Amino acid sequence: MTRFVFVTGGVVSSLGKGIASASLGAILEGRGIKVSLVKLDPYINVDPGTMSPFQHGEVFVTNDGAETDLDLGHYERFVRTTSTRNSNFTTGRIYERVIAKERRGDYLGATVQVIPHITDEIRRCIKLGAGDADVCMVEVGGTVGDIESLPFLEGIRQMAVEIGRHNCVFMHLTLVPIVGGGEIKTKPTQHSVKELRSIGIQPDVLLCRSRDQLPDEQRRKISLFTNVEERAVISAVDSDDIYKIPLLLHEQGLDDIVLDRLRISAPPTDLSDWKAVVEAKFATDAEVNVAMVGKYVQIRDSYISLNEALVHAGLKTHTKVKVHYVEATDIERDGAGCLAGMDAILVPGGFGERGIEGKIEAVRYARENSIPYLGICLGMQVACIEFARHRLGLAAANSTEFNRDTPDPVIALITEWRDLNHGTVTRDERSDLGGTMRLGAQPARLEAGSEAARVYGAQVIRERHRHRYEFNNTYLEPMRAAGMRFSGFSEDDLVEVIELPGHPWFVAVQFHPEFTSTPRDSHPLFAGFIRAARAAHAEQGAATGTAAAPQSAAQA
């Protein structure tokens, strides 16, 4: 029987429920327990796929092609689990399912209500996401007291009654602020727990987010006023490295508290992997500067998996990676001079026309100045556009996403690939990929001897996609003749990887490798990119006579 840990949050939003859930999952996994994780989101959107990155941050894509909350990225980075479309449910998705059942007559004419129909569906979805795990972590988005999260809270309350109180743990994350002259305030936590108890949920564990470790006096006070045993009042202190958090929580005995409550016997905890990850951060022997040229750089959560993938590559290659965020529209206004001195340039994915010319100019700067370049999704598409314009001589080359009337649609929907002379479709249109998003993990074959095949150490890979537009194969041979190498293709011959032979390191991919990077394993493409940046940095230092001495662990 699967047991459950329900994670809620109070006082303020964005306290780190996702990191807390993932960290506890990592500790339990370190004790030989099979863990699954589910996120319940209270917004009415069916999924975050249509939401602005400025509002919601990154959209994380699962192997099976679901567009989900960014917390699922934390889950996969901390726990060796693969999320699915059943790992994330929104209010919109729950209501969509209930309304579909009502329209089919599944409720036999009953009046459909929040209780029991919506809450029954919530419980059913939680069990679906749990699968056959020993313990399922269920994170409820939002803040206790919000109207929109009430059905989810009622759903998990009912579930505790259904499965038995000894088969679940309620873990509540709150804020303990420090005000004035350093006075620690426990009242917000007391009120948050009071709000939770008013709807029938008594927390078993409190994670108290604070700047510093909570003194015993405050822990006793919180325990007294919240009816939570003192040892279960845990300090969730601010950390300079999220990968330390499993170690910090384990030191306070969180896993023992949870397992005792669930009546589970487990082997001693093995967190050696996480100790190695934390130590690797201080074992760097080089530093590189990477420019990330994007359209949502003001909101770091928009590129959270990408940021973490660069960190992971740094851990793998013993490199301190300094990311410089460059707004693409600034390059359009001021030129690419801001990229001078960078050891590498990365152009990530995105949608819409804004900033596209700035991204194209960044690609040109990397290509003409022999700076290592990594393009991801849109980053590959703008690399193709730039090459067509400045090496193939097609000055008006573009994507039909940005210019429907371009005479040279180097990037287009599959249904728009038409022979320029005869007006006929140049490839089989059996699928409707051109009219919908290509989502989820799909295989690609890599050309033997290519940089991509060398980095991956394989000729067949599987990577996750999230895009509609593709490289137009009408331009395949002309661009090959001009010097571009197409080194990766999908099963139905869509371009997946491009390279520039003779360039120090120029690789761009149609997929999103950042979604499968983890701190313990890194991702070969990002590790290869950072190694190329290191080589560029060393070469630049040698040329100027200012090569930096390797850093010791203490200096790092």
Residue 158 sits in the same domain as residue 292: no
Cβ(380)–Cβ(489) below 8 Å: no
CA distance 56 to 38: 18
Q: Kindly state the average pLDDT of the residues 19-31.
A: 97
> How far is the CA of 45 from the CAs of 26, 67, 91, 149, in angstroms?
30, 12, 7, 14
Comparing 306-320, 368-382, 408-422, the range with the smallest average pLDDT is: 408-422
Comparing 126-140, 222-236, 542-556, the range with the smallest average pLDDT is: 542-556
CA distance 21 to 251: 16
Q: What is the largest CA-CA distance in the chain?
A: 81
Residue 546 has what pLDDT? 59
Residue 233 has what pLDDT? 97
Residue 419 has what pLDDT? 47
In a domain, residue 554? The reply is no
Q: Which residues contact 108 (CB under 8 A, 6 or more apart)?
A: none
CA distance 551 to 264: 45
- Select from 250, 277, 304 the last residue of a domain: 277
Residue 167 sits in the same domain as residue 105: yes
Find residue 237's DSSP bridge partners: 210
356-393: b (≥16 Cβ within 10 Å) or e: bbbbbbbbbbbbeeebbbbbbbbbbbbbbbbbbbbebe
In a domain, residue 51? The reply is yes
CATH number at residue 329: 3.40.50.880
Interval 315-325: pLDDT, tens: 999 999 999 99
Length of the chain equals 556
In a domain, residue 556? The reply is no
Average pLDDT of the chain to the nearest whole number: 91
Residue 420 has what pLDDT? 45
Name the 3-class secondary structure at 444. strand
Q: To which residue do tokens 């287009």 refer?
A: 412
Residue 325 token pair: 């965020």
In a domain, residue 470? The reply is yes
Residue 552 has what pLDDT? 37
DSSP state of 449: T
Residue positions annotated with a catalytic role: 377, 512, 514
Residue 9 sits in the same domain as residue 125: yes
Residue 330 has what pLDDT? 94
Overall domain count for the chain = 2
E-strand stretches of 111-192: 135-140, 168-175, 178-179, 183-184
CA distance 160 to 164: 6
Task: Identify the helix (H) or strand (E) that includes residue 294.
Answer: strand 286-294
* pLDDT level of residue 555 (50, 70, 90 thresholds): very low
Name the 3-class secondary structure at 39. strand
Interval 398-444: pLDDT, tens: 999 999 999 999 999 887 765 443 444 343 433 333 336 789 999 99
In a domain, residue 553? The reply is no
Residue 331 sits in the same domain as residue 447: yes
Q: What are residue 430's phi and psi, to 5 degrees? A: -65, -30
Q: Which domain holds residue 416?
A: 282-542
Residue 174 sits in the same domain as residue 304: no
Q: Kindly state the average pLDDT of the residues 444-472.
A: 96
- What's the helix, strand, coil split of the chain in %, to 5? 40, 20, 35
Between β-strands 3-9 and 135-140, what pairing exists: parallel, antiparallel or unpaired? parallel
* pLDDT level of residue 263 (50, 70, 90 thresholds): very high
Nearest-CA neighbor of 359 among 347, 367, 371?
Answer: 347
Cβ(408)–Cβ(418) below 8 Å: no
CATH number at residue 88: 3.40.50.300
DSSP state of 83: -
Residue 54 has what pLDDT? 66
Cβ(286)–Cβ(318) below 8 Å: yes
Interval 124-172: pLDDT, tens: 999 999 999 999 999 999 999 999 999 999 999 999 999 999 999 999 9
Q: What are residue 147's phi and psi, to 5 degrees? A: -65, -40
- Select from 216, 248, 277 the last residue of a domain: 277
- Select from 209, 243, 277 the last residue of a domain: 277
Find residue 464's DSSP bridge partners: 441
Q: Kindly state the average pLDDT of the residues 345-366.
A: 93
Residue 123 token pair: 């419980």
CA distance 523 to 456: 9
Q: To which residue do tokens 């070469």 refer?
A: 539
Residue 374 sits in the same domain as residue 411: yes
Residue 436 has what pLDDT? 62
In a domain, residue 82? The reply is yes
Residue 252 sits in the same domain as residue 291: no
